[in-house]
Amino acid sequence: MKQQRHQNGQTMNLLFTMLLFLVFVLCALFTVLIGGKVYENINSRIEENYSGQVVLNYVANKVRQSDRAGSVTVKDMEGTSVLELAQEINGASYVTWIYYRDGAVRELFTDTESGLGLKDGLEIIGCEGLTFSQEGAVLKVVAAGDAGGTLFLNVRSGGVEDEE
């Protein structure tokens, strides 16, 4: 009889140990699953914020590089809001167009006489939308979407005459 109680005690210890191990494994599994979901959420938020900020910073830097009298204008081409940055290189006139098309911000640098259009631009970064408007010297850039934002730039240059 003592031997039967001893075996029952060993069986209960084994069952308790196995049950405890199972609980530990389940807790570890749920921790990994919850941690993965948290990581995924954080990563998606960072990615959204990154694309919205990069678009605005990109446009701001391009405008600052081209800030000369009359060189920064906003045009409507083919129903699309286009930021046009004009410049002259070795006596030839060139333009850079920055615009939103097919889910991405695009840029086209071309000679004014090339005949290229908005379909020919290179994709810079994907985003949900980008529009430009200009009132006097103030350029307004709006990046659409949850991570988007609005940027106001003052085109400050008075022209080449002021730089001399």
Instruction: Tell whether the model's pLDDT for residue 164 goes beyond 60.
Output: no
- Window from 7-21, 36-50, 150-164 with minimum mean pLDDT: 150-164
Q: What is the mean pLDDT of residues 87-104?
A: 90
Q: What is the pLDDT of residue 162?
A: 42
Q: What is the pLDDT of residue 159?
A: 42
Q: Which residues pair with 153 in a beta bridge?
A: 139
Q: What is the pLDDT of residue 3?
A: 60
**2 falls in which pLDDT band (50, 70, 90)?**
low
Q: What is the mean pLDDT of residues 34-51?
A: 84
**pTM score:** 0.67
Instruction: Tell whether the model's pLDDT for residue 19 goes beyond 90.
Output: yes
Tokens 């031997």 sit on residue: 3
Q: Which residues pair with 142 in a beta bridge?
A: 131, 150
**132 falls in which pLDDT band (50, 70, 90)?**
very high
Alpha-carbon Rg for the chain in angstroms: 30
Residue with more model confidence, 6 or 83: 83
